[in-house]
């Protein structure tokens, strides 16, 4: 029996043209770092052979660019890990120090990260905490059990202050790009244009 296909049926180019068939995330990391590539190999295996969504999320984050892997401070980790003793904080990114946190007793936790700054590492280990790598985490918790997956604030970058409605338009609260900076201050150069009435106008 022959399969009869209607001449009306066909591929809907309209769906393809808006990009619904395209993948919008990376399938592999762009970095040439061999250690990251080895971690990708490990977590690709774990994501395939275990049912845990944790491994798939870690793998996807290992693919991300550095701007999409924002750093996380020890104070933020301490806040998130309060009341979660015995669990492992997992950050697919950098762990940084925070001089504003004075009580080092809050830093007694286990954290797994891609890298940590020297001061952050020193303070966590001095408080009785522990820093582990992702290959060590794979041995301890291959399915992500007793792990708290955290990530830093994505929109904390200075550049996000400029995004949105253009400075000078009604209702805008965005930061204008001006020529002046700390090195080139002067009478002739605009400062805070669109932010104060004395500097051109106030939005």
Report H helices in the chain. Answer: 13-17, 34-49, 53-63, 74-80, 118-126, 134-140
Burial class (CB in 10 A: 0-12, 13-18, 19+), 145: exposed
| pTM to 2 decimal places | 0.78
pLDDT score for 89: 98
Contacts of 86 (CB under 8 A, 6+ apart): 146
pLDDT score for 178: 73
**Averaged pLDDT, groups of 10, the chain, 203 residues long:** 57 56 81 96 97 96 96 96 95 96 93 97 96 97 96 93 85 78 64 71 70
pLDDT score for 173: 84
Do residues 112 and 104 make contact, with C-beta atoms less than 8 angstroms apart? no
pLDDT score for 18: 58
Beta strand spans in 74-157 (E): 88-96, 110-116, 130-132, 147-150
pLDDT score for 168: 73
d(CA 111, CA 89): 5
Burial class (CB in 10 A: 0-12, 13-18, 19+), 28: exposed
d(CA 148, CA 129): 16
């Amino acid at each position: 029996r022959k399969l009869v296909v209607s001449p009306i049926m066909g591929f809907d180019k309209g769906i393809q043209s808006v990009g619904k068939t395209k993948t919008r995330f990376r399938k592999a990391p762009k970095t040439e770092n061999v250690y990251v590539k080895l971690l990708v190999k490990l977590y690709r295996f774990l994501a395939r052979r275990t049912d845990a969504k944790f491994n798939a999320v870690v793998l996807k984050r290992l693919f991300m660019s550095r701007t999409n892997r924002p750093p996380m401070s020890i104070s933020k980790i301490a806040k998130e890990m309060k009341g979660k003793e015995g669990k492992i904080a997992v950050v697919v990114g950098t762990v940084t120090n925070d001089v504003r946190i004075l009580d080092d007793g809050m830093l007694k936790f286990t954290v797994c990260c891609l890298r940590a700054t020297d001061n952050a590492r020193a303070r966590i280990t001095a408080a009785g905490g522990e820093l582990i790598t992702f290959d060590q985490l794979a041995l301890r918790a291959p399915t992500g059990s007793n792990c708290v997956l955290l990530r830093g604030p994505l929109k904390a970058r200075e550049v996000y202050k400029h995004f949105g409605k253009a400075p000078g338009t009604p209702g805008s609260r965005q930061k204008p790009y001006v020529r002046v900076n700390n090195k080139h201050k002067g009478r002739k150069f605009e400062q805070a244009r669109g932010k104060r009435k004395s500097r051109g106008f106030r939005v």
